[in-house]
Structure 1
């Protein structure tokens, strides 16, 4: 074969192979460019894989969902209340927990109990009463109780101000000067509350003392400086957390600017929301960010915010828009005692309870007439005034707090 023929044949083969070579080059290039990067893939898989914390949260959510589905409406409504042991037993038992408590908890599986000085005779009596109540509750109810008390330190201390209890007595909060003192307050009170059997304390006081005519929180508020109050609140919370005590910041949106006492009747602040944000709301926000599980609503009126004299504890705007949406609170909202004058002088027990739940509260603390309030909520659900879905929202928050805080 001549060189000429070989050259022609070579050119022919080259032309035929060229497309194949080009295609192979493109495929190889694409493979190199788009080849899965093992590191990226692993990171992506790790990112998409739930963390142990997320898995635990999903487990808790599912357990709560299943429990709520198994509850009767009567059980759900009872869970919304915290009352005194004497109210639970119709006055039969206020310093002991016996057959009266056992039978009452079967009929009314309430969310919790609150104890006052008259209920607390001595350390051993208190421990026995709480332990017996806990045992009776576990026999008929799978949901644990809140065992609560007002132990702020200083003037409002149901235990420390009782001479039968040898615990540290603190000066009034307005005499505290350093955050170290605030931490010691929480740590000390938390230790003896846990020892006695309590798991919920209505503290810290997050009020800012901004009105010299105010007598309600004068001795109970840390300061007139909102930033100092905020720092004190956070440190006090840190002390309590050493002992796994659930806390309730109070009294939202701040009782420090009022001149009257909601224990005895109407009280209000003339401040606007913008003014509250510059002062009274600062400690609450800091406390919420620090992990407060509960916030107590005050019965004060805020007409320059909502346009009427509806107490904040019954106000949908104050609870849902201000506390939940603006302050970012996802936990349990509890009313201040519904037997206080600001409520009981203006609303029947059933009406106050209904308005509080409609407003967004989760727990109804001490209605003046528990049985009337309980039946009132049941009837409101039956007639559609309150949806069962709304009740379930509160029960979900209550059960979540109990699941994550009470080793249940």
Structure 2
């Protein structure tokens, strides 16, 4: 009976997705409102300057090539200043760049802010996303400014897992149904269903202008008192791993890059890393047997990003440092043992587990020392950015280490955006 009910729900979700795609495709292309705040209106009227012709390129820009050779990547990295390279290491909320209360449009103020801090990407939340036309224009303008300023496309990101983590699905401005919790998807045992759900999400996100979705959740919900029960596909690796692999394929076919999260697996931890440190007492052998298997499945499917969580694993690392700041987890385990060659990104460095561990000026330095490529949403962008520059100036971080991550970022942008 559960199987039949689940399949009926599957048909309803996919049917709703097809209707939503048709609705999005038919939306008018009216101008979005000026950039707004729910605490007042902020003026950031889109620029009236004519757009560049297809042949016009900013100084030093390289035309993205789907088959970009390494030499082109190296040439681009060599052309960048240290400040430009360090800025590429951050993906942040739009407000962290512009300083407005809640950003809902991208115009001259956004362009000016990106000229001062050409970050690698922006992550948007429900408050930034009012409706289809407004979102498409905001993201299109932001991408155009980023390319004109840096010669690189921007990562335009969102958390869209479905269920309790959904910024577009279920938002009344978009006419797209929420696909529901991944625990229900996992309960069907149907990997094709998981694929279709991810492809549906990727399709509507790509239409809006997003190119990165921080999903799927690869955590195993094996703690009944944990916070991941509804977000995880299930309580065992046998359930979760094939669902994660299917969703990596689905997001790719839907047109967006995706990220398996939260390495090395926070589903068994008690507590919430938004509030403070979380711990697992498991050994390396124990997590190899379960928690790592969904990430291995994602890596086998060429997942573009892996997001490292803030889980402390003292029986593996020998200390209480969160995984996002641990070279034993990031470099030794994920990069070397599991062989992941894509982009390693932290979970939000504005969470309590991060801010309780480090002062603001170290929230970029310590993850980079551990081997992370991209620092996500530090509590204070300017402090974290300056902290990295200071670490390079002092020799604590080398420019070669910065180049290593920037090269991966540029390669991904040239080949996959």
- Sort the TM-score into its range (normalised by shorter chain): 0.7 to 0.9
Q: Is the 8 A contact 2:201 2:254 kept in 1?
A: no
Deviates more, 1:197-206 or 1:162-171: 162-171
Q: Is the 8 A contact 1:244 1:405 kept in 2?
A: no
Q: Which residue of 2 aligns with 1:41?
A: none
SS in 1 for 2:156: strand
Q: Which residue of 2 aligns with 1:351?
A: 362
Q: Is the 8 A contact 1:80 1:395 kept in 2?
A: yes
SS in 2 for 1:147: strand
- Note the alpha carbon deviations across 1:294-345, whole angstroms, 9 max, x for none: 1000001000101110000000010111101111101110000000000112
Distance verdict in 2 for CA 1:81–1:259, change over 3 Å:
same
Q: Which residue of 1 aligns with 2:52?
A: none
Does residue 400 of structure 1 match 2:397? Answer: no
What is the distance in 1 between the residues matched to 2:147 and 2:316? 44
1:93 deviation in Å?
6.4
Q: Which residue of 2 aligns with 1:206?
A: 218
1:58 deviation in Å?
9.1
Distance verdict in 2 for CA 1:220–1:59, change over 3 Å:
closer
1:153 deviation in Å?
1.1
What is the distance in 2 between the residues matched to 1:184 and 1:192? 12
Q: Which residue of 1 aligns with 2:193?
A: 181
TM-score normalised according to structure 2 size = 0.82
What is the distance in 2 between the residues matched to 1:279 and 1:404? 32
1:59 deviation in Å?
5.2
Q: Is the 8 A contact 2:161 2:217 kept in 1?
A: yes
| 1:190 maps to which of 185, 202, 215 | 202
Does residue 284 of structure 1 match 2:295? Answer: yes
Mind listing any 5+ residue stretches in structure 1 that lack a counterpart? 1-55
| 1:137 maps to which of 134, 146, 155 | 146
Q: Which residue of 2 aligns with 1:338?
A: 349
Q: Is the 8 A contact 2:102 2:127 kept in 1?
A: no
Q: Which residue of 2 aligns with 1:226?
A: 237
Q: Which residue of 1 aligns with 2:177?
A: 168
SS in 2 for 1:319: helix
Which has the bigger relative contact order, CA under 8 A and spacing at least 6? 2
What is the distance in 2 between the residues matched to 1:305 and 1:138? 42
1:368-407 to structure 2, matched below 5 A, reads 368-406=379-417
Q: Is the 8 A contact 2:103 2:128 kept in 1?
A: yes
1:1-400 to structure 2, matched below 5 A, reads 60-91=69-100, 94-176=103-185, 177=188, 178-214=190-226, 216-400=227-411
TM-score normalised according to structure 1 size = 0.84
Q: Is the 8 A contact 1:251 1:297 kept in 2?
A: yes
The structure that is helix-richer by fraction is: 1
What is the distance in 2 between the residues matched to 1:137 and 1:307? 42
Larger Rg: 1
What is the distance in 2 between the residues matched to 1:102 and 1:59? 27
Q: Which runs of 4+ in 1 moved over 3 A?
A: 56-59
What is the distance in 2 between the residues matched to 1:237 and 1:299? 22
Q: Is the 8 A contact 1:168 1:188 kept in 2?
A: no
1:140 deviation in Å?
1.6
Q: Is the 8 A contact 2:200 2:254 kept in 1?
A: no
SS in 2 for 1:183: helix
Distance verdict in 2 for CA 1:168–1:58, change over 3 Å:
closer
What is the distance in 1 between the residues matched to 2:212 and 2:136? 15
1:165 deviation in Å?
1.5
- Note the alpha carbon deviations across 1:325-377, whole angstroms, 9 max, x for none: 11110111000000000011221121121101000000000000000001110
Q: CA RMSD in A?
A: 1.3
Q: Is the 8 A contact 1:186 1:236 kept in 2?
A: yes
SS in 1 for 2:345: strand
Q: Which residue of 1 aligns with 2:54?
A: none
Q: Is the 8 A contact 1:60 1:403 kept in 2?
A: no
What is the distance in 2 between the residues matched to 1:234 and 1:110? 30
What is the distance in 1 between the residues matched to 2:102 and 2:415? 30
Aligned residues: 350
What is the distance in 2 between the residues matched to 1:77 and 1:335? 15
